[in-house]
Structure 1
Amino acid sequence: MFDTFIWDFDGTLFDTYPMIVQGYLQSLNDYGIKSTKEEVYQLLKEHSSKAIAEKYQLNFSDLSKKAKIHEENITNFSPKSFSGTQEVLEKIVANQKTNMILTHRRQDSTKMLLEKEELASFVKEIVGPENRFPRKPNPASLDYLLKKYSLNPKKTVMIGDRALDVDAGKNAGVYTIFFDNENLLTNIQADYRVTSIKEIEKFV
């Protein structure tokens, strides 16, 4: 059905949110702000990390840097891919189709987590903050991939767990799949909705 699968990383391919939430909680604490896991998680899922900075009237860049440092120092949590990730990525490549990743996570961190589970070879390109594109839902990063690889938008799909992933796909004119493993956000207007990574096999 699709030839190119462009994946978000955090919360889509890998369950990294416990680590991300903890990083932001510790960062907020640095500012003397007390929040909860539930509140930070809801802001991340419904909106983005920028929404956390806006809620507490903090500089987003500074807060984000602090959160990344705290996140990297967390040693009691090792992120794992969601069930079915390897099988789906492998099937896509076996069918001579392509996986790419579009993430706000640094490329070296993304690649390290992929390599831990021997998944890196299934991914053709990782676009991260190093590429200096505007953050999703701005379509610039997707437009870059479409142009670089001469992708057909009608054969390309953006897969993510948040509205900003879906909106980025829509803004770039590609199809969208919303990964909703928790049934947390019911108002996301994606072309397709799945509750497990394994379901994406039907789009290969």
Structure 2
Amino acid sequence: MNILWDFDGTLFDTYPAYTKVFSAVLGEKAKPEDIYKQLKISYTNALNYYEVSEEDQATLMELRKKLAPEEMKPFDHVEEILKWADKNVIMTHKSRKGVLAILQHYGWEHYFSDIVTIDDGYARKPDTEAYVYLHNKHHIDLAIGDRELDLIPAKKLGIATCIFQTECEIADYQLQDYREFFKLGL
């Protein structure tokens, strides 16, 4: 099975670290649990929701760059699936440098045949452009993400979809914990 993975919130639990950064910038304007909810929709959504100024956006970016890879923990049991899959690829809006730093920290870079990041110039999700590229090159069987936004392009291409730790009407499969993956019968 060839799997296309989203990165943030799917392979790695990055949202707590991003919430911490937003909290540092927003201060008492927002509760951490509310920031987390907005980030789960999308980073851009959180910026718009809190009407973050350009100056504060620059501060957010600087603080994000200072986050250590160990603050981005892999989800439990995801490595078992990476080992099982025939091929794994990533499609993310994160920078290549950020993705590689985290993968290398955990020694996971060898699990991935291809990585498409925001640096590659493809249109942002839910556009299908990057998914078409990865599907044509790697014949993707399943796309896994934590947001509907991650699944829409796969659905448009006829690829099976799996939502992680969220509910989503368009998902073919839903997982709350990666231990459940092998019970899906894929």
Do they superpose with TM above 0.5? Answer: yes
In the alignment, the residues of structure 1 paired with residue 56 and residue 185 of structure 2 have an alpha-carbon distance, to the nearest angstrom, of 38
**Aligned match for 2:63, one of 41, 58, 70:** 70
The within-5 A match list for 1:45-84 is 45=40, 47-58=41-52, 65-74=58-67, 78-84=71-77
Cα-to-partner distance string for 1:135-170 (whole Å, 9 max, x where unaligned): 2112111011123x162xxx5211011121122322
Aligned twin of 2:158: 173
Partners of 1:88 and 1:198 within 8 A in 2 = no
CA separation of 1:56/1:17 partners in 2, compared to 1, >3 Å: closer, same or farther?
closer
Counterpart residue type for residue 30 of structure 2: S
Q: Unaligned 5+ residue runs, structure 1?
A: none
**Aligned match for 2:33, one of 29, 38, 62:** 38
1:106 equivalent to 2:95? Answer: yes
Partners of 1:158 and 1:174 within 8 A in 2 = yes
Aligned twin of 2:110: 121
Deviation at 1:8, TM superposition (A): 0.7
Aligned twin of 1:23: 21
Tell me the secondary structure at the aligned position of residue 170 of structure 2: coil
Aligned twin of 1:11: 9
In the alignment, the residues of structure 2 paired with residue 88 and residue 76 of structure 1 have an alpha-carbon distance, to the nearest angstrom, of 21
CA separation of 1:11/1:34 partners in 2, compared to 1, >3 Å: closer, same or farther?
same
1:88 equivalent to 2:77? Answer: no
The within-5 A match list for 1:135-174 is 135-147=124-136, 149=137, 151=139, 156-174=141-159
Counterpart residue type for residue 54 of structure 1: N
Tell me the secondary structure at the aligned position of residue 12 of structure 2: coil
In the alignment, the residues of structure 1 paired with residue 120 and residue 185 of structure 2 have an alpha-carbon distance, to the nearest angstrom, of 28
TM-score (norm: length of structure 2): 0.86
CA separation of 1:66/1:85 partners in 2, compared to 1, >3 Å: closer, same or farther?
same
In the alignment, the residues of structure 2 paired with residue 134 and residue 102 of structure 1 have an alpha-carbon distance, to the nearest angstrom, of 11
CA RMSD of aligned residues (A): 2.5
Aligned pairs, number = 185
Tell me the secondary structure at the aligned position of residue 41 of structure 1: helix
Deviation at 1:129, TM superposition (A): 0.6
In the alignment, the residues of structure 1 paired with residue 70 and residue 12 of structure 2 have an alpha-carbon distance, to the nearest angstrom, of 13
1:131 equivalent to 2:124? Answer: no
In the alignment, the residues of structure 2 paired with residue 63 and residue 146 of structure 1 have an alpha-carbon distance, to the nearest angstrom, of 37
